[in-house]
């Protein structure tokens, strides 16, 4: 499991002062980018050096408890499954008390950088992410 921590910012909230639903995905994506950095496949590295890209083809989220400006969040990211061409990530959002206040899931598919056609995930990438 990979852990990412952040705080709800004013720009993450809606007019009522609660975490805007779309910003939960933004925070999940921030955790995803930090995870890729940690396993040696930063977004910058993939874009500049690799022959594949990893677009999100499905995303879903649930919200259990409202979050407000200043609330600290721990995002626990884990790889749910890996197939030949795709992988799924689960994100649990926990408050300071360790209570799950939301979750999300994203599905990423490997595509060739030039043709944009689906390709197999590189073995070295699969090895890097499978420990999580």
Active site residues: 14
Number of neighbouring beta carbons within 10 Å of residue 48: 8
23, 31 contact by CB (below 8 A): no
What is the C-alpha to C-alpha distance for residues 27 and 129, in angstroms, rounded to an integer?
Answer: 19
CB contact burial 71-84 (16+ within 10 A = b; e otherwise) = bebbbbbebeeeee
| CA–CA gap between residue 37 and residue 59 (Å, rounded) | 21
């Amino acid at each position: 499991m990979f852990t990412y921590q952040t705080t709800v910012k004013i720009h993450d909230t809606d007019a009522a002062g609660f975490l805007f639903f779309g910003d939960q995905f933004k925070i999940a994506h921030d955790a995803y980018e930090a995870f890729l950095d940690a396993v040696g496949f930063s977004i910058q590295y993939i874009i500049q050096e690799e022959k594949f890209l990893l677009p999100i083809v499905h995303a879903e989220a649930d919200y259990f408890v409202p979050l407000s400006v200043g609330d600290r969040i721990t995002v626990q990211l884990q790889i749910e499954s890996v197939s030949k061409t795709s992988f799924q990530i689960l994100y649990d959002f926990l408050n300071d008390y360790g209570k799950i206040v939301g979750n999300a899931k994203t599905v990423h598919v490997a595509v060739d950088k030039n043709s944009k056609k689906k390709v197999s995930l590189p073995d070295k990438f699969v090895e890097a992410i499978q420990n999580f």
